Structure 1
Amino acid sequence: MTAYVHIGTVKTGTTSIQQFLHNNNELLLKQNMLYVKSFRKYVIQHWKIADFISFCVENNYSNIQDIQDEYWKNEIHCMQEELVRYKNTNFLFSSEGITRTFFTTNYIKCFKNILSDLGFKKIYIIVYFRDLIDFIPSFCSQTIKAGILHEIDTIDVDKYLLKFVFDYKWICYEYSKIFGKENLIVRLFDQNEFYCKNLYKDFIYSIGLKWDNKFKIPSNQNKSLDLLGIELQRRFNRIFSNTYFNYYIRREKTINLNRLFLLNLVEKYFSNSQDKNLKFCFPEEKFQYYIDYFEESNEWVRKEFFPHKERLFPKKDLSGYKENYELKEMKPEYWDKIADFIAEIIKVKNDVIIEQMAQVKILSDKLDFIKSKDIFNFKYGSARVRIQNQLTYKLGQAIVINSKSLLGYIRMPFVLSYIKEKHKQEQKKYKEKIKKDPSLVLPSLDQYPDYQEAIDIKKTFSYKLGQAFIRANSKRCWGGVYQIAI
């Protein structure tokens, strides 16, 4: 079996690619490529792979036979079932969480071992790299949206925990060492480098498939915040802290729903602004330092994978670069956007309150109905029981029960006579009771909450049989059955 694993990196159209693959799974299957359903997280991508490998590394598990955790055993079982079902198919995984999380060689080794244990003989790694000039600002926006407080623009690169994400040499070297350089598919996230200048076509081309004009193209995903959005979201992150997933202990991260709700609205109102004053630009000194710091790394990647190019990415003139990482001026239109943002928060919250109040009203009405029904039933009983206490039903039920055996047929006349006599006594007691206290007169059946159930009982075989029995008895016409004075 063959696996294609798209590992990112982050901010290289990964969410768009994953949405594209998810939307077109059936068309991909026609070309013998399955976008795997197991190990998915957030519906469209396989971030659970990163979670699982982190769990294995921390617990020193090197193969799937070692796994004792029930959650991960179930995930593996689902994956194995998928492998059996599509045994003659190529398998495709995608998660930027892999490059985002695997920061030592041990993670990559463990990943290779797990894939091999699952039965994959051939494994291709697909990775996209983006020019740091564009990547860093976008990544900064992403870390703020994720609620990470150690933001890239506030920390020196040497001390930054995620600096390996920018080290393309380290990524290529380590994955080549474990999976083989020949199995590493390196692409550049640059429209001029894309096959047919299209990211989706480039990805399809990179995994050896043909473009299908029936492919569904998703809308743009995961847009970057503008400066207003960044300023707002930074403050929301401090107010509504996120409890992050601990890759070594937990399987899921705890999400602050208030922060998530606000983030969705921040993205709606403060993403990809056309206002140059709102375009986030990394602090100039740090920006240049990052670029210089990874220049050697980029050159190594160029020599190894793009020897035909003079540079890995075209050199850009930064002489006119102006940093813009703090909001220094509030224009009237900015206040308008913030006002619209606040207004929608109020509207959404009010809509939620109105919906909840409507649900409470429905539940309250149901509760009132149940209470009134219970009070009514306590005082008068139920219509269902009243029908079942009618002589018609009791006789019909007795005939059905006793007609199932020879002994029942023999004793049937005695049983029916007993039921008739007992019923007559109950009716006499009831008449005496209401004569003394007229308030005890039972209401008509149509006043009972379960009136419809009573009507349904009248349609049963037992009830109709009882009716026929009484009718036949009144005419002294039994068809050779029993004759009882009723």
Structure 2
Amino acid sequence: MVAYLHIGNVKTGTTTIQNFCALNENKLLEKGCIYPQSFRITSRHWGLVEQILSPNKDKNGQVLKGLNGKEFKAHCDKKFIFSCEGIVWEFSKIEYIQQLKFFLENLGFYKIYIILYLRNISDLLNSLYSQEIKNNLQIDLAPIDPNMHSKKHIFDYKWLCQSYASVFGIENLKIRIFEKDEFFNQDLIEDFLHCIDLEVNKNEFLIPQNQNKSLNLLGIELLKRINQKSKDPNTIKFLSKIIEKYFELDSFHSHLKFSLKAQLCENYENFFSNSNEWVRCNFFPHKKELFRNQGIVEANNRVGFKDTDYDDIVDFVLEIVRLKNNTIKFLKEF
């Protein structure tokens, strides 16, 4: 059997790709591909990560949770498509990658292609920070020193490419640049279809909306303060959904694009510059630079808001929520 394993990177349109595949799984079957239910949690194959990281393995080094044997037997003539950015996110050691290959080969896959999208370091850093705020994560996804980043390996594109090449073979790597001008027909979905060697008309498929957008400057500052000021997780979740609805970044409000401090971004750009250059030389020798040079723009001061203004807005919103909760509680007791 043949597998196309889309491993990320994080913040490179993975949710859009996964939703597309899940939404069109019947159409993909007609085209000779399967986006299997096995190992799938919602629309991504997080179960593959669990297979490797789970401490409850059987004597063959495998866990059976999520495995649908009938699905593999019924579609052994089709191309299997797996997608989970958690593979890049969680597998910081080459041993995990080796175990993943061993596991897939035991399922019957003799040919495994790896699809990996790489994003400009500063853009990735900013997008991760936005996700940190949205999810109220208790980890620092933008430390000043790149060496101190808990997920340093996801920025080290040389390490990623070398590691997966050493395990799966460099000829089986499909390394893509996450930039519109680099996509096949300047479209992410068409680029992914091209990666899985499926030459079809995109219009034959249902196209999901873009998912998991970053927050704009106002959204970042508001939600960051809500996370700090409110200790109630339900309140944070409630307000987070509203903020995502109204304060996601779009082309009409580009002046509100958030960016971390320029010096911080430059630290990461410089730290991983040799890594990027190695990838360029080995996978994109025709390019002068791995990523389009767009400069590092510190956008935080474009809008004339002060810290006290944000604090006042958040205090006002939290007061509304407290009043709402008190009213509901009073009515229930009444």
TM-score, normalized by length of structure 1?
Answer: 0.61
- How many angstroms apart in 1 are the aligned matches of 2:306 and 2:174? 46
- How many angstroms apart in 2 are the aligned matches of 1:178 and 1:351? 60
Structure 2 partner of 1:272: 249
Equivalent residue runs for 1:444-463 within 5 Å: none
- How many angstroms apart in 1 are the aligned matches of 2:98 and 2:273? 27
Which residue among 137, 140, 143 is the counterpart of 1:148? Answer: 137
- Retained in 2: the 8 A contact 1:64–1:117? no
Counterpart of 1:74 in structure 2: which amino acid? K
- Retained in 1: the 8 A contact 2:39–2:48? yes
1:153 match: secondary structure? coil
Equivalent residue runs for 1:179-218 within 5 Å: 179-212=168-201, 213-218=203-208
How many residues align structurally?
A: 331
- How many angstroms apart in 2 are the aligned matches of 1:270 and 1:130? 23
- Retained in 2: the 8 A contact 1:284–1:323? no
Counterpart of 1:73 in structure 2: which amino acid? L
| TM-superposition CA deviations, 1:145-202 (whole Å, max 9, x none) | 2332332334421111111111111100000000000111111111111111111001
Percent identity (aligned): 38
Structure 1 partner of 2:224: 234
1:109 match: secondary structure? helix
| TM-superposition CA deviations, 1:15-62 (whole Å, max 9, x none) | 111111111111111111101112112x11112222331225xx6x5x
2:219 match: secondary structure? helix
- How many angstroms apart in 1 are the aligned matches of 2:243 and 2:102? 41
- How many angstroms apart in 2 are the aligned matches of 1:338 and 1:86? 53
**Are 2:17 and 1:6 aligned?**
no
- Retained in 1: the 8 A contact 2:225–2:311? no
Which residue among 51, 60, 66 is the counterpart of 1:65? Answer: 60
Counting helix residues as a fraction of each chain, which structure ranks higher? 1
Shift of 1:5: 0.6
- How many angstroms apart in 1 are the aligned matches of 2:323 and 2:7? 40
Cα 1:238/1:202, change in 2 over 3 Å: same
Shift of 1:348: 9.3
**Are 2:296 and 1:287 aligned?**
no
Structure 2 partner of 1:249: none
Could you tell which deviates more after superposition, 221-230 or 178-187?
221-230
Structure 1 partner of 2:65: 74
Cα 1:327/1:184, change in 2 over 3 Å: same
Cα 1:348/1:35, change in 2 over 3 Å: farther
Which residue among 305, 308, 311 is the counterpart of 1:329? Answer: 305
1:75 match: secondary structure? coil
Cα 1:229/1:89, change in 2 over 3 Å: same
Structure 2 partner of 1:25: 25
- Higher relative contact order, structure no. (Cα contacts within 8 Å, ≥ 6 residues apart): 2
**Are 2:146 and 1:157 aligned?**
yes
- How many angstroms apart in 2 are the aligned matches of 1:92 and 1:352? 48
Structure 1 partner of 2:212: 222
- How many angstroms apart in 2 are the aligned matches of 1:341 and 1:183? 52
Structure 1 partner of 2:99: 110
Which residue among 136, 139, 145 is the counterpart of 2:128? Answer: 139
1:324 match: secondary structure? coil
RMSD of aligned residue pairs (Cα, Å)? 3.4
Cα 1:55/1:338, change in 2 over 3 Å: same
Shift of 1:297: 0.7
Counterpart of 2:125 in structure 1: which amino acid? I
Shift of 1:325: 8.2
Structure 2 partner of 1:471: none
Counterpart of 2:81 in structure 1: which amino acid? L
Shift of 1:341: 6.7
- How many angstroms apart in 1 are the aligned matches of 2:110 and 2:3? 8
1:260 match: secondary structure? helix
- Retained in 1: the 8 A contact 2:144–2:267? no
Shift of 1:135: 2.1
Which residue among 156, 177, 198 is the counterpart of 1:167? Answer: 156
Structure 1 partner of 2:85: 96
Larger radius of gyration: 1
Shift of 1:326: 11
Shift of 1:228: 2.6
- Retained in 1: the 8 A contact 2:214–2:249? yes
Cα 1:4/1:239, change in 2 over 3 Å: farther
TM-score, normalized by length of structure 2?
Answer: 0.86
- How many angstroms apart in 1 are the aligned matches of 2:246 and 2:319? 12
Query: Structure 2 unaligned runs (5+)?
Result: none
| TM-superposition CA deviations, 1:340-396 (whole Å, max 9, x none) | 97799689979999xx98xxxxxxxxxxxxxxxxxxxxxxxxxxxxxxxxxxxxxxx
Cα 1:19/1:108, change in 2 over 3 Å: same
- How many angstroms apart in 1 are the aligned matches of 2:200 and 2:327? 44
1:133 match: secondary structure? helix
Structure 2 partner of 1:430: none
1:126 match: secondary structure? strand
1:65 match: secondary structure? coil
- How many angstroms apart in 1 are the aligned matches of 2:256 and 2:294? 21
- How many angstroms apart in 2 are the aligned matches of 1:173 and 1:19? 29
- How many angstroms apart in 2 are the aligned matches of 1:240 and 1:27? 46
